[in-house]
Amino acid sequence: MCGAYGFSVKDAKEVYKRFDIANSLDDFTPRYNIRPGQMNPVITQNSKKYIERMFWGIIPFFTKDYSHKYKTMNARVETVMELPTYSKLFRKQRCLVPATGFFEWDKTQKPSVPYYFYLKNDPIFAFAGLYDSWVDPKTNQEIHSYTIITTKANQVVGKVHPRMPVILHREDEKKWLSPTQIAQELLALLTPYPNDEMQEYMVDTAVNSPRNDNPEIIKPLDATALL
């Protein structure tokens, strides 16, 4: 699964250039401990790529309330084409979820030990995501929400957790957003990221609290971890 990640870019221009974004956000703040139920940057494409903030946790178009919001933070690749919540979105409403790293907890230890995972050679990357639009029947407010697709873990993440978010290769991001890609071609993109392109290290348990959202969260406990 993926229940916490970071998007700790300080200069928004880096993001706009990295993903060739046609617009900009009104304000841009680096985030270190993003959690479900929060509004976060997501990239979609029509004729051009656009970035906007969406609610993490799909609120299906057919639901009458927010009851799905925390159960839908992730969509499993094994069932993403079958479940009613995701099947239509997989065909027509795919998105990129920009990130700089993500967290998983080793629950074989007591208490659980948090780890931070990132890419060795790409400081900004994208998870494969889906998004939906929901209109609150009480207020008529439209809310855009998203989910992150997960797959079986590679060996790096697998030391801590059996699943991991799908990280798209940079050259596959365009394919993921393209409306002309067929389902089997899209599924072929949703694989564990290569082991030799990822790294991890232990971080402080302060990350356990969503209230802690600062650079200290992603610092390694072992000062030699980045050497």
Tell me the catalytic residues: 2, 104
Judge contact between 102 and 132, C-beta under 8 A: no
User: Which residues have C-beta within 8 Å of that of residue 207, sequence separation ≥ 6?
Assistant: 4, 33, 103, 114, 116, 217
Longest dimension (CA), the chain: 54
Element (H, E) at 187: helix 183-187
* Sign, CA torsion 54/208/216/19: negative
Judge contact between 38 and 53, C-beta under 8 A: no
Judge contact between 93 and 132, C-beta under 8 A: yes
In the chain, which ranges are E strands? 5-7, 31-34, 39-45, 49-56, 74-76, 94-99, 101-106, 113-119, 125-135, 142-152, 163-165, 198-202
- Report residue 7 as tokens: 């998007």
